Amino acid sequence: MKHLVISCAMSMEKQKHYIAMLLTQAIFAGMALFSKAAISQGMNPYVFVTYRQAFAIIALAPLAAFFERKSDVPLSYNIMLKIFLMSLLSTLSLDLYYFSIHYTTATFAAASTNLIPAITFFMAVILRVEALAIKKSHGMAKLLGSSIGVTGALVFALVKGPQLNFMKGNTRGTHSSNLNYSLKEEWLKGSLVMVLANFTWSLWLILQVRIVKQYPAKLRLATLYCLFSWIQSSICAMVMERNISAWKLKWDINLFSVAYCGYIVTGLTYWIQLWTVEKKGPVFVSMFTPLSLIITAIVSAFLWKETLYVGSVCGGILLVGGLYLVLWGKNREAEREINQ
């Protein structure tokens, strides 16, 4: 019995990075669903980001004070400036994301973020954060897996085919569930802004590597990110939204959404991603992004009766296939580094 417990503990230790990323993507799926619901009911996206970061500070600050109270990590002006500039990237990415989600759907928002793995991979190679050994099996697997993942995301978002009417009752499609979605001009604007949000988020992931090495107190780092981001987003929101009534929160989906995105998404996943980036690198983190799409699509189909198409299923299969191919390449690369 004792050996079984030890064996299980060792197995969990090896799989903890994967478990952390699976949990993160499930949380991100909830973010797409709840934030879409709040913004569809009229909440200003810039105000949403401001409240989200405020809730995140409330969640993270006590944790940082308690768990890292004995951590003696100096915070120089140089590092603080870097954290402030990095916060600008995350604030910009969040503002762009919530602006664009008004013109699209939760499922499309989750689908479009699957461009992040490919963007992160190629940017990491260019910046020499990630190695690409194209002549070796693991390098080819990472490159091929990234390409398959992008293809899957595009198929999911653009290819429809026959409907899968396995749900009874109202099966309104994604296009009919959102009036803005039917307007081509607004759809184009939303999709382009979403792509730009993905670019800024990929850059944020890549630059984490150096910041975490210079300031390894992850909870404090995440708290500082949220603090600076809250200041930046507050200024942006006050410029973009002058109506005082837009800032009022009631006991409704708006309050629940910002609390969820602040406490759970920002507060918890910021720390999880910082920890995983340090251990496994930015590409490993980004490669789990496709899972949030699958979760979002399934939940949307059951709760909101959004129609699934054959193209969506095929795209999801390609996304998962690309994910596991890249993970295989990452594991092979790690094994070779250990054996050398």
Cα–Cα distance between 29 and 296 in angstroms, integer? 5
The pLDDT value recorded for residue 54 is: 93
Helices (H), 41-115: 45-67, 77-101, 106-112
For the chain, domain boundaries? 28-339
Question: With b meaning 16 or more CB within 10 Å and e meaning fewer, what string describes 3-31?
Answer: eeeeeeeeeeeeeebeebbeebbebbbbb
How many angstroms separate the Cα of 145 from the Cα of each of 174, 309, 320? 28, 23, 9
Confidence (pLDDT) at 92: 94
Euclidean distance between CA atoms 153 and 149, whole angstroms: 6
How many Å separate Cα 286 from the centre of its chain? 8
CA angle 35, 38, 45 (to 5 degrees): 75
Residues in the chain: 340
Q: Is 163 helix (H, G, I), strand (E, B) or coil?
A: strand
Using a 10 angstrom Cβ sphere, with 0-12 exposed, 13-18 middle and 19 or more buried, the burial of residue 144 is: middle
Predicted pLDDT of residue 2: 52
Whole-model pTM: value is 0.75
Under 8 Å between Cβ of 195 and 149:
no
Distance CA 221, CA 80 (A): 10
Kindly list the averaged pLDDT for each block of 10 residues, start to end, along the chain of length 340.
52 73 87 88 91 91 85 86 92 91 78 74 76 74 81 73 61 44 64 86 84 86 92 93 86 91 81 77 73 79 71 79 77 70
Cα torsion 203, 205, 206, 208: sign: positive
- The continuous run of DSSP H or E covering 27 comes out as helix 2-40
pLDDT at 332: 76
Three-state SS for 309?
A: strand
Kindly tell me the burial class for residue 78, based on how many C-beta atoms sit within 10 Å of its own C-beta (0-12, 13-18, 19 or more). exposed
pLDDT value for 177: 46
